[in-house]
């Protein structure tokens, strides 16, 4: 919403600079986006009168003009074709500056000196979008005589500013100059002066021109119409064109400009039809036929559906209600009779039509936010007044009005105690009433209760709390003295699962893993890339109805694709190594399509590529489980997960329950992700980890007796697992083995092919005595014997 | 007999002179040990001489004995002091030899880094915990009811459109803000209540420098008897000063949200110029719209079964992504979700 300050001051005499107006309005709740200066860099451009125009002797397309600027007469060469002798035009003298940093100098055009430049509106800094068709290609010709040498900045009112506001959706009434004037009036406590609407001369009778209005559609609450006759289509006066251009609207002709002017002024979109083109001279507001076609003002043919509301005559649609008028009934230079429409349409209907057609107009953006239906006649009558004022036509007496549900002023009771309680400020009742009255919410105190009458344009005020806000914002939130929170609740807590999560993260970071974060939605093709089977439950995904694209279209049921994508991205960007983890949700539907919310389950995803291998991954997982106090952990080989290397993958069991998988990524999957380095990934059910975690710790007395260390080196067949050997060692320990550590695996000479040497360090210790060599030897013998029998192991010499 | 005494005396003095001379010449710890054995050991020269003590007259024995003891003491002391001197020299030599280049940096053990967004969330949560708030969480997939209806969002509000919100079914969507957690908390726990909740939120936004279809919010809610705007302003003032420093100013601007009334947006001093006015803040001195907040709308309280006459409350919400970007000077939101290792390692 653009608010030209000079226009604002027509209705409220606020004697402050623009910055102060903007600051004040900001603090009372109007959000200022920016302050725009109208002068984009003009200096020394003045009004001149063209005395003569001659052909350039050496150039067909150039003209040589003599221009009187009061103090002197200048010879200026121009290429413009829209000039005639006697025109008043902007002249940039030598030394003048134009927007875009242009400096005007004496120039020689094919042997003729030019002492300045005649300017178009574009050259004066106006956007193409607000320059009228006539002015687009030529020099800006002023509408009448002005004192020669007057600064063009003064004539065009460019020594002013425009404030751009972002209007919140609850305040459509502020999408108008008068609406903002009302806010300004309330904010600075200066009276609002609304235009007095008076038409001096009304002739004839509307019934002679219009055969009636029917509004069968529910989506039209009001249709108010008046007729203008003896219309003379011309450009509108310069002052009006300037106002429109400052507010971002392109001038067209006097009738259309006036309807746009009043729309900006009151916030009520209006439309003018060429009455002679309306078949049957009758207006019917109805739903469109399915497939009905209409060519709109912009010359585009549009196909409608029965959800669209149209303005029709007895034969056809002549406008898409609240969005855009029809091409066939538009005002043209030959229009003699004008039908003015001030209507009120259902905001949802307008919004849907505008959206479906991809057609957003000044009218539709206002209608879709909601408008007070009581503005219809005010605005149309104001148009009539202006038409009369600028002599664009003669107003026909009478109006036609279909108004189904008139909007009435509501009364709301407000308890002063409530205001004080919610705002936390000790305001007096008189102060409250004063703030409300400043906003034109007529209020008075009756039996300690404030009774307020809500103006019908305030669509946002429905209940007491809304009035509390009005008082609060005029008092100023910045003026509220802050007060500390009191109350019984003073202790804040973190839920247990969050504590476990933070603990786990600390451990993972200590192990050198960076924390990552990826999107909750993935591409369904990811499931092919990680090679899961067609019938895998992982493919039971929740799909978005309106994804941004296939890549973000399903809610993930595994974090594996995100992890692989992340590793691949790093790899392909030349990052040498990458160690990361993510804790994030997977989404498991109970049924598809969703009838109720799915289960959201936290998963820990660990992944890396670099110098480390499977054993580091296992170490990370194992360290994490240990630190969380999770016991009875077992790793069993997993050969059948299609995403993972069949020989380098394990399932993590806790108490026999599968809580996750860890391993090297399958070579096919690596290829799918364009990775040429081995990658390792673990996926752990974090929800289970939280359940299993045990943070209780009990002190065990420090050992009093010395430990005995023995090494044991065995030669076994290649396929014997270290874990199985360790199990046998433990079995014979009789509670005396404190630790078993694998310290070497060796293959090669002199170990025979197909065999390997595995060496363990075993620490023995008793808590109640010093161990004797003999008892340790006995244990070792038992271990060796068992290993010989079970695995055909040989003690290595 | 007289002679014997003098002979022994002479012999002892000879041993002493010889011993002192050789001790001075010794250069290794082993040599010292050998000298000790040679002169003072069980079979050493001093002992050898003393074996002849029996040949002395009884009255001479103490005299010779005393001389022998004195010599033994002197020799022992000399050996040990010379040995210590040598020991010190050797240690010094060893330390000198072991000098290393301390400018070398090893990079073998790496420590992991927090994701900056999550680090910010946890920092904020901890801050609010210290102010008596409890941390709660809610699902990413929500009902339309919790996300819009219960929050007093008008039925035809544009934010409900498919061009703004990701839908799964007509009634189920990806939450567009963390506010539905308020509804859950009020319904489950009732009043009084003091909670914060942070998490992932989703809006139909194409990816660019400042937009991402997934982003993060932190939401706070206080419901109790006699909660007012004045409490809201106090709480957020403290929070912003804690987060950005005590010189940060806040400005509460009236605004509109369907679920709070009155509603406000909070601006804070420009992060760049700290309020003086610069290019970054359009010379206003303010960084805009850091937070949205307001008094919980009575309709929302009632919807959650809380008596809006007895209780009032305030709520606030903020975009974590933007706060984190400001805090670390990050200029592209995509960096958060790309997880480039070289980015992650900076925090």
Residues with Cβ within 8 Å of A607's Cβ and at least 6 positions away in sequence, in order, are A563, A564, A566, A567, A578, A579, A580, A581, A679, A680, A681, A682
Whether A375 and A343 have beta carbons less than 8 Å apart is answered as: no
Task: Give the model's confidence band at A674: pLDDT under 50 very low, under 70 low, under 90 confident, else very high.
Answer: very high
CATH architecture of the domain with residue range A496-692: 2-Layer Sandwich (3.30)
Counting beta carbons within 10 angstroms of the beta carbon of residue A57, is it exposed (0 to 12), middle (13 to 18) or buried (19 or more)? exposed
Interface of B with A in 176-215 (CB under 8 A): 192-194, 200, 202, 204, 206-207, 213-214
**CA distances for A227 relative to A177, A332, A405, angstroms:** 26, 16, 24
Residue range A238-262: mean pLDDT, rounded: 95
Q: CB contact, 8 Å: A751 with chain B?
A: no
Residues in chain B: 347
How many other C-beta atoms lie within 10 A of the C-beta of residue A336? 14
> Closest by alpha carbon to A361, among A370, A351, A374, A371?
A351
Confidence at residue A225, expressed as pLDDT on a 0 to 100 scale: 97
Q: CB contact, 8 Å: B253 with chain A?
A: yes
> For residue B291, which residues of chain A lie inside 8 Å, CB to CB?
none
The per-residue b/e assignment along B256-267, b for 16 or more CB within 10 angstroms, e otherwise, is: bbbbbbbbbbbb
User: Nearest CA to CA, how far is B208 from chain A (Å)?
Assistant: 13
Nearest to B237 among A468, A482, A587 (CB): A482
Cα radius of gyration (chain A)? 42
pLDDT tens per residue across span B293-340:
999 999 999 999 999 999 999 999 999 999 999 889 899 999 999 999
**Same domain, yes or no: B178 and B249:** yes
Nearest to B128 among A169, A492, A520 (CB): A492
Q: Is residue B107 part of a domain?
A: no
How many CB pairs below 8 Å do chains A and B form together?
Answer: 241
More confident residue, B66 or A520: A520
Rounded Cα–Cα distance for residues B94 and B99 (Å): 9
**Residue A580 pLDDT > 80:** yes
**Residue B176 pLDDT > 70:** yes
Domain A202-403 belongs in CATH node 2.40.50.140: no
pLDDT tens per residue across span A190-212:
999 999 999 999 999 999 999 99
- Ranges of each domain in chain A: 11-28+166-188, 43-155, 202-403, 410-476, 496-692, 708-795
Q: CB contact, 8 Å: A496 with chain B?
A: no
For the record, the structure tokens of B34 come out as 């050998």
Q: Domain boundary residue among B64, B97, B130?
A: B97
Q: Is residue B102 part of a domain?
A: no
Q: Is residue B85 part of a domain?
A: yes
Q: Is residue B236 part of a domain?
A: yes
State pTM to two decimals: 0.85
**Nearest chain A alpha carbon to B251:** A478
- Name the phi and psi angles at A248, rounded to 5: 90, 15
What strands lie across the sheet with A161-166, from one edge to the other?
A2-4, A161-166, A31-37
Q: CB contact, 8 Å: B110 with chain A?
A: yes
Q: Domain boundary residue among B63, B97, B131?
A: B97
> Closest by alpha carbon to A648, among A631, A667, A675?
A667
Rounded Cα–Cα distance for residues B103 and B106 (Å): 10
Q: DSSP secondary structure string, A400-420?
A: EEEESS----EEEEE-HHHHH
Q: Is residue B26 part of a domain?
A: yes
pLDDT tens per residue across span A506-558:
999 999 999 999 999 999 999 999 999 999 999 999 999 999 999 999 999 99
The mean of the pLDDT values for chain A is 94
**Nearest chain B alpha carbon to A415:** B309
H or E element in which residue B299 lies: helix B298-303
- When scoring B262, B300, B302, B330 by the number of chain A Cβ atoms within 10 A, the one with the most, hence best to mutate, is B262
Q: Is residue B217 part of a domain?
A: yes
CA angle A255, A351, A252 (to 5 degrees): 20
Contact B140 A510 (CB under 8 A): no
**Same domain, yes or no: B18 and B164:** no
Residues with Cβ within 8 Å of B20's Cβ and at least 6 positions away in sequence, in order, are B75, B78
**Residue A249 pLDDT > 60:** yes
Contact A600 B132 (CB under 8 A): no
Q: CB contact, 8 Å: A495 with chain B?
A: yes
Task: Give the model's confidence band at A489: pLDDT under 50 very low, under 70 low, under 90 confident, else very high.
Answer: low
**Same domain, yes or no: B166 and B258:** yes
HSE-CB of A132 using CA atoms within 13 angstroms: 21
CB < 8 Å & 24+ apart, contacts of B296-302: B296/B182, B296/B221, B296/B223, B296/B259, B296/B260, B297/A465, B297/B152, B297/B258, B297/B259, B297/B260, B297/B261, B298/A463, B298/A465, B298/B261, B299/B152, B300/B150, B300/B151, B300/B152, B300/B182, B300/B183, B300/B186, B300/B259, B301/B186, B301/B223
The fourth-level CATH superfamily of domain A43-155 is Nucleic acid-binding proteins (2.40.50.140)
Task: Give the model's confidence band at B268: pLDDT under 50 very low, under 70 low, under 90 confident, else very high.
Answer: confident
What's the CATH number where B291 sits? 3.30.930.10
Counting beta carbons within 10 angstroms of the beta carbon of residue A691, is it exposed (0 to 12), middle (13 to 18) or buried (19 or more)? middle
How many other C-beta atoms lie within 10 A of the C-beta of residue B117? 25
Nearest to A545 among B136, B168, B200 (CB): B168
> For residue A569, which residues of chain B lie inside 8 Å, CB to CB?
338-340
**Same domain, yes or no: B151 and B247:** yes
A708-795 topology per CATH: Alpha-Beta Plaits (3.30.70)
Q: CB contact, 8 Å: A566 with chain B?
A: yes
User: Nearest CA to CA, how far is B143 from chain A (Å)?
Assistant: 7
Residue with tokens 């049957």: A280
pLDDT tens per residue across span B122-173:
999 999 999 999 999 999 999 999 999 999 998 878 889 898 999 999 999 9
Residue A230, by phi and psi: left (phi above 0), alpha (psi -120 to 50) or beta?
A: left
Q: Is residue B191 part of a domain?
A: yes
User: Nearest CA to CA, how far is B53 from chain A (Å)?
Assistant: 50
Q: Is the bond preceding residue A535 a cis peptide, omega within 30 degrees?
A: no
Structure ipTM:
0.87
> Closest by alpha carbon to A664, among A635, A643, A637, A634?
A643
**Same domain, yes or no: B12 and B44:** yes
**Same domain, yes or no: B321 and B279:** yes
**Same domain, yes or no: B167 and B272:** yes
Q: CB contact, 8 Å: A797 with chain B?
A: no
Nearest to B135 among A168, A495, A552 (CB): A495
Q: DSSP secondary structure string, A27-74?
A: HTT-EEEEEEES-SS-EEEEEEEEEEEEE-TT-TT-EEEEEE-SS-EE
Rounded Cα–Cα distance for residues B23 and B17 (Å): 10
- When scoring A517, A553, A555, A574 by the number of chain B Cβ atoms within 10 A, the one with the most, hence best to mutate, is A517
CA angle A394, A340, A11 (to 5 degrees): 85
| CATH number of this structure's domain A410-476 | 3.30.56.10
How many other C-beta atoms lie within 10 A of the C-beta of residue A596? 10
Task: Give the model's confidence band at B2: pLDDT under 50 very low, under 70 low, under 90 confident, else very high.
Answer: low
For the record, the structure tokens of B260 come out as 């709070």
For the record, the structure tokens of A417 come out as 């105690």
Whether B221 and B315 have beta carbons less than 8 Å apart is answered as: yes
DSSP helix/strand/coil, A566: helix
Q: Domain boundary residue among B97, B125, B150?
A: B97
Contact B222 A485 (CB under 8 A): yes
- When scoring A345, A464, A465 by the number of chain B Cβ atoms within 10 A, the one with the most, hence best to mutate, is A465
Q: Is residue B69 part of a domain?
A: yes
**Same domain, yes or no: B133 and B52:** no
DSSP helix/strand/coil, A177: helix
* Number of structural domains in chain B: 2
Domain that includes residue B130, residue range = 116-344
Whether B339 and A518 have beta carbons less than 8 Å apart is answered as: yes
Confidence at residue A488, expressed as pLDDT on a 0 to 100 scale: 65
């Amino acid at each position: 919403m653009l608010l030209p300050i000079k226009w604002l001051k027509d209705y409220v005499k606020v004697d402050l600079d623009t910055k102060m107006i903007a600051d004040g309005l900001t603090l009372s709740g109007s959000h200022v986006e920016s302050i725009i200066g109208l002068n984009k860099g003009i200096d020394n451009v003045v009004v001149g009168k063209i005395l003569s125009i001659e052909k350039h002797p050496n150039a067909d397309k150039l003209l040589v003009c003599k221009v009187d600027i009061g103090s002197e007469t200048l010879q200026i060469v121009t290429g413009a074709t829209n000039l005639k002798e006697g025109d008043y035009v902007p002249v940039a003298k030598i030394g003048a500056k134009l927007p875009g940093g242009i400096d005007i100098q004496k120039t020689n055009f094919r042997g003729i000196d030019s002492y300045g430049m005649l300017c178009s509106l574009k050259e004066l800094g106006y956007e193409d979008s607000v320059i009228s068709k006539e002015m687009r290609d030529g020099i800006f010709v002023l509408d009448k005589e002005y004192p020669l040498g007057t600064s063009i900045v003064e004539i065009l009112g460019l020594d002013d500013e425009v404030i751009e506001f972002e209007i919140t959706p609850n305040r459509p009434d502020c999408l108008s100059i008068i609406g903002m004037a009302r806010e300004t009036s309330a904010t600075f406590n200066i009276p609002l002066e609304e235009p007095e609407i008076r038409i001096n001369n009304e002739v004839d009778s509307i019934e002679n021109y219009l055969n009636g209005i029917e509004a069968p559609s529910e989506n039209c609450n009001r249709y108010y119409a008046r007729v203008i006759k003896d219309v003379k289509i011309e450009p509108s006066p310069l002052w009006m064109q300037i106002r429109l251009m400052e507010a971002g609207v392109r001038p067209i002709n006097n009738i259309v400009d006036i309807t746009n002017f009043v729309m900006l002024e009151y916030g009520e979109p209006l439309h003018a039809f060429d009455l002679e083109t309306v078949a049957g001279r009758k207006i019917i507001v109805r739903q469109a036929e399915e497939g009905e076609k209409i060519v709109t003002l912009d010359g585009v043919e549009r196909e409608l559906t029965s959800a669209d509301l149209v303005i029709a005559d007895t034969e056809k649609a002549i406008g898409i209600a609240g969005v855009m008028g029809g091409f066939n009934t538009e005002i043209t230079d030959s229009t003699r009779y004008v039908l003015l429409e001030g209507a009120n349409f259902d905001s949802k209907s307008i919004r849907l039509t505008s959206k479906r057609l991809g057609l957003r107009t000044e009218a539709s953006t206002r209608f879709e936010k909601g408008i007070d239906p009581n503005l219809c006649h005010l605005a149309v009558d104001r148009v009539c007044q202006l038409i009369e004022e600028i002599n664009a036509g003669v107003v026909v007496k009478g109006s036609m009005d279909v108004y189904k549900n008139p909007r009435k002023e509501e009364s709301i009771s407000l308890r002063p105690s409530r205001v004080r309680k919610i705002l936390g400020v000790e305001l007096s009742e008189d102060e409250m009433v004063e703030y409300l009255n400043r906003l034109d919410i007529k209020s008075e105190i009756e039996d300690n209760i404030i009774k307020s009458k809500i103006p019908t344009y305030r669509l946002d005020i429905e209940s007491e709390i809304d009035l509390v806000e009005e008082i609060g914002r005029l008092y100023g939130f910045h003026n509220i003295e802050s007060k500390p929170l009191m109350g019984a609740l003073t202790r804040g807590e973190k839920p247990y699962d969050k504590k476990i999560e933070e603990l786990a993260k600390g451990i993972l970071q200590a192990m050198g893993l960076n924390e990552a974060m990826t999107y909750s939605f993935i591409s369904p093709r990811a499931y092919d890339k990680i090679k899961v089977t067609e019938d895998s439950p992982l493919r039971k995904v929740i799909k978005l109805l309106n994804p941004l694209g296939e890549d973000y279209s399903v809610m993930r049921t595994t974090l594996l694709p995100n992890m692989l994508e992340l590793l691949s991205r790093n790899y392909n960007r030349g990052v040498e190594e990458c160690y990361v983890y993510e804790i994030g949700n997977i989404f498991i539907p109970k049924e598809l399509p969703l009838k109720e919310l799915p289960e959201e389950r936290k998963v820990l995803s660990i992944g890396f590529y670099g110098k480390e291998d499977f054993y580091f991954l296992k170490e990370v997982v194992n360290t994490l489980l240990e630190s969380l106090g999770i016991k009875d952990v077992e790793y069993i080989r997993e050969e059948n997960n299609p995403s993972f290397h069949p020989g380098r993958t394990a399932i993590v069991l806790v108490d026999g329950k599968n809580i996750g998988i860890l391993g090297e990524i399958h070579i096919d999957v690596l290829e799918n992700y364009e990775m040429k380095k081995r990658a390792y990934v673990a996926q752990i059910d974090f929800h289970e980890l939280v359940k299993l975690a045990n943070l209780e710790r009990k002190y065990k007395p420090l050992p009093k007796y010395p430990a005995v260390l023995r090494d044991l080196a065995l030669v076994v067949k290649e396929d014997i697992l270290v874990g199985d050997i360790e199990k046998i060692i433990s079995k014979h320990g009789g509670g005396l083995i404190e630790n078993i550590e694998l310290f070497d695996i060796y293959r090669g000479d002199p170990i025979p092919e197909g065999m390997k040497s595995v060496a363990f360090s075993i620490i023995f210790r008793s808590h109640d005595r010093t161990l004797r060599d003999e008892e340790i030897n006995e244990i070792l013998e038992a271990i060796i014997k068992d290993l010989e029998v079970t695995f055909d192991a040989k003690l290595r010499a | 007999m007289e002679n014997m005494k003098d002979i022994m005396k002479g012999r002892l003095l000879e041993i002493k002179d010889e011993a002192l001379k050789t001790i001075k010449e010794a250069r290794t710890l082993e040599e010292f040990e050998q000298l000790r054995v040679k002169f003072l050991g069980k079979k050493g020269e001093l002992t050898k001489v003393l074996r002849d003590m029996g040949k002395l007259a009884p009255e001479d024995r103490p005299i010779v004995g005393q001389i022998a003891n004195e010599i033994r003491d002197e020799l022992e002391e000399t050996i040990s002091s010379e040995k210590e001197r040598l020991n010190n020299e050797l240690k010094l030599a060893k330390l000198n030899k072991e000098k290393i280049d301390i400018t070398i940096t090893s990079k073998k053990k790496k420590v992991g880094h927090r994701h900056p967004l999550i680090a910010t969330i946890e920092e904020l949560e901890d801050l609010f915990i210290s102010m008596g708030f409890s941390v709660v969480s809610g699902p990413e997939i929500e009902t339309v009811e919790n996300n819009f209806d219960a929050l007093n969002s008008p039925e035809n509000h544009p934010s409900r459109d498919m061009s703004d919100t990701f839908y799964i079914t007509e009634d189920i969507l990806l939450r567009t803000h963390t506010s539905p957690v308020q509804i859950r908390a009020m319904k489950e726990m009732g009043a009084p209540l003091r909670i914060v909740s942070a998490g992932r939120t989703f809006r139909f936004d194409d990816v660019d420098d400042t937009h991402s279809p997934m982003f993060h919010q932190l939401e706070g809610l206080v419901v109790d008897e006699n909660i007012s705007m004045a409490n809201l302003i106090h709480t957020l003032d403290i929070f912003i000063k804690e987060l950005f420093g005590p010189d940060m100013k806040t400005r509460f601007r009236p605004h509109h949200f369907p679920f709070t009334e009155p509603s406000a947006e909070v601006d804070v001093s420009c992060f760049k110029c700290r309020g003086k006015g610069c290019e970054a803040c359009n010379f206003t001195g303010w960084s805009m719209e850091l937070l949205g907040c307001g008094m919980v709308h009575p309709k929302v309280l009632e919807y959650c079964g809380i008596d809006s006459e007895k209780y009032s409350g305030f709520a606030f919400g903020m975009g974590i992504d933007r706060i984190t970007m400001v805090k670390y000077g990050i200029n592209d939101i995509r960096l958060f979700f790309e997880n480039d290792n070289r980015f992650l390692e900076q925090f």
